[in-house]
Structure 1
């Protein structure tokens, strides 16, 4: 904040602290400070402005009451996670609630192939930021495992995962409110394999799977590859799947399983309230329908403090199959995830053994050692703060550069941002124009089995926000504005 706040010190004490508060709030609204960022300490700002400590304390207290700042004990004051000037958020989705076959693989492959082009500015990924990963620490663990256990690279290992890694998964699950037994846990080649194994265990070709709308395209790919149908349920971009709509669908259609990402969902970033999580588990249990809980981004929430409990924390009959991954938190290259499959554990283990057999043992032991050292929580705290700031910067740039009428989701965590352009703008057309400008993103049509979200797109928010990224977002906004102008002409 500047020396900045041009404050008339001759004003009354009340007006002075209000002026300080308003100047700081304006700086935050203009993007000079982003959600999760620490603002100057009370003592530092008082010295900088030449005012008393009590004046700044009152100003900060006023902003805390308004939700602009958060006070963290022994740490200071931080910009609140919702304190940003942005476009309005999208409204609840309204898909046709009926089972439909899925045919998104061709478009998905096109977008994924484009995302792999090193010559593109890639705004279409949903991966971790390399600079926010503990790569050096894990590499040291890998080297120690290679020195001490060189035979691991020459053997097939336990098909369901190394016991030391499964033990660490049980500990991590406990942090999400889940009391899983080690024998219930299965190590997989990532969360996507986990969700696919669960679908195979629970349903057959032609069966109907309930999903959020929009939903992660990997879930749709799995449903498509297994010959199943997707039934899309209305979803709010902040609070997640709408339980009233799900309950009506359960009464109307023969649903075999439900796939939900309750915490920091991809692509919208929603996070279900705790009471709604409990209602979801109880609702599905009454109908005897299993819940596949995709928790790949569960540990990447922006809010300080403990993460929300997983839905499986309310599971009483083993009907929730919790799938997660280390790809978003520790690195995608290790290709490790896990399932706590409840009463379906034996069936899932059988399918795992018949498909990809054993996960790579070297990576398993190295990740287990890293987790056992107790530095995971410290790493997460740094990563979550970084993702919160970067997400806010991308959202602010979209609000600044994109056409009037654009709506932007307010993600609770993760590495992506859901954006809805004004009605009538086709993001598939925008995608191909952007590709010519050497920019890639994920069009909204990837995230539905229906002909919906053609005006939406998902942006990658994890990289450092620099001039190159701001230029790419400005270019996308200009291209979208050109399309809008052409439609009006």
Structure 2
């Protein structure tokens, strides 16, 4: 058993015995480090685990307290086992749309953005491919882009899979208008209103919006920022609920950045196969690995065609072209028909342009440069956080992508920090937008997808000052939280 699990279980025992009753304050991160002789990272992970079990909660500017529902959570489970997961409807607040609005403002420093800096992408070269294919466009080429999509593009995507060690037939690949359409189309195909699906906690807010729109119920399973998805909690959810599908991001998870290792991905796929539950795998950051070799998706271990693997060129090549895809497994035919019946076709010129670029534009040379740049920017961001934020701040270091998941000091409410940061021309993504129940009030997601500059340095310093300076926090962050 790992040290953070041991610490979490010790606190669970105190809660179970009533030594720590509902409403009791538990030691601060700093006090816990001193009392148990462990690092802040260990305490953060232990508290993170207890939060996800429903045993404790963080109150802004006050610290961590035993949850009012802790007794019921303890009744449903013992020590380190996950609590019984209730299926809940999803209601996304205006906060998500407030965050989305801020990243459209050119004057705002977009640390809350979900995109990489467009200046890092080969826009001109892709535009050259677009011009070339447009010169040869005729009616036959336009029709060729109808579902399942342009053959040349699907062939190039199949080759990308092959380079990652995975054989995906071209017939299984359906081109969509971005990965989000691939994901939501898959979800719509597999479910009906009122059905239960399993999602991550935390999860990408677009998944929550899609679930709300489709009228689905969710069971959330914890995602540890170091080890990833809690497969024991997933097994319990599958036993307790009529789960229709799972929507997971197993590599470079948004927002935590964590990647499941191969053994856990295989165990995940095997567990779902045992229950015959499909997995919708969101893998939009797969090309942005910092290591020398690609990371295998969960689909690599799929033997029953249950994994619908969804990808996109929006994060690594051409965001404005809105080209994604689904490798549909046993559901490929149904997904193709669903595409016919919804948006009909992704932009045909965009499909042809990206196919041309993938074949002739030097995509792998570009990716090598982009990965190196993002890795450098990650180090610069984490270094700045360590210098400017309070000592009891913890930020994750991912093996790819461009996000870090930051755990703030106990007294900081990330929604209030979000509002205060906006007053200073800075956007961040506050933790509650990544959960169906508004959890993670002490966490923010920061984007390091922009080249480091003096302007970014000042922005991180400002955020650190808002967190560290009690008087400024009390002034700037006082009063009720209202997001309009």
The answer on 1:453 being equivalent to 2:440 is: yes
The answer on 1:112 being equivalent to 2:100 is: yes
Task: Give the structure 1 partner of residue 252 of structure 2.
Answer: 264
**Aligned partners of 1:485 and 1:438: how far apart in 2?**
16
**Aligned partners of 1:343 and 1:154: how far apart in 2?**
28
| Match runs of 1:237-256 below 5 Å | 237-256=225-244
The answer on 1:431 being equivalent to 2:418 is: yes
Task: Give the structure 2 partner of residue 38 of structure 1.
Answer: none
- CA distance 1:384–1:307, change in 2 (3 Å): same
Which of 349, 361, 370 is the aligned partner of 1:362?
Answer: 349
The answer on 1:407 being equivalent to 2:373 is: no
Which of 136, 145, 160 is the aligned partner of 1:148?
Answer: 136
**Aligned partners of 1:383 and 1:260: how far apart in 2?**
25
C-alpha RMSD of the superposition: 2.2
- CA distance 1:133–1:207, change in 2 (3 Å): same
**Aligned partners of 1:439 and 1:156: how far apart in 2?**
44
Which of 358, 377, 383 is the aligned partner of 1:396?
Answer: 383
TM-score normalised to the size of structure 1?
Answer: 0.78
The unaligned stretches of length 5 or more in structure 2 are: 1-38, 55-84, 479-484
Q: 1:129 Cα shift?
A: 2.3
Helix, strand or coil: the match of 1:299? helix
Number of equivalences: 403
The answer on 1:130 being equivalent to 2:118 is: yes
Task: Give the structure 1 partner of residue 7 of structure 2.
Answer: none
The answer on 1:334 being equivalent to 2:321 is: yes
| Match runs of 1:37-436 below 5 Å | 88=41, 90-91=44-45, 92-93=48-49, 94-95=51-52, 96=54, 97-149=85-137, 157-303=145-291, 305-373=292-360, 375-436=362-423
Residues 125-153 of structure 1 deviation map (CA, whole Å, 9 limit, x = unaligned): 12122232122221111111112225589
TM-score normalised to the size of structure 2?
Answer: 0.79
Helix, strand or coil: the match of 1:177? coil
Residues 389-415 of structure 1 deviation map (CA, whole Å, 9 limit, x = unaligned): 101111111111112211111211111
**Aligned partners of 2:449 and 2:99: how far apart in 1?**
18
Helix, strand or coil: the match of 2:200? strand
**Aligned partners of 2:295 and 2:447: how far apart in 1?**
23
Q: Who wins on radius of gyration, i.e. which is larger?
A: 1
1:190/1:337 contact within 8 Å kept = yes
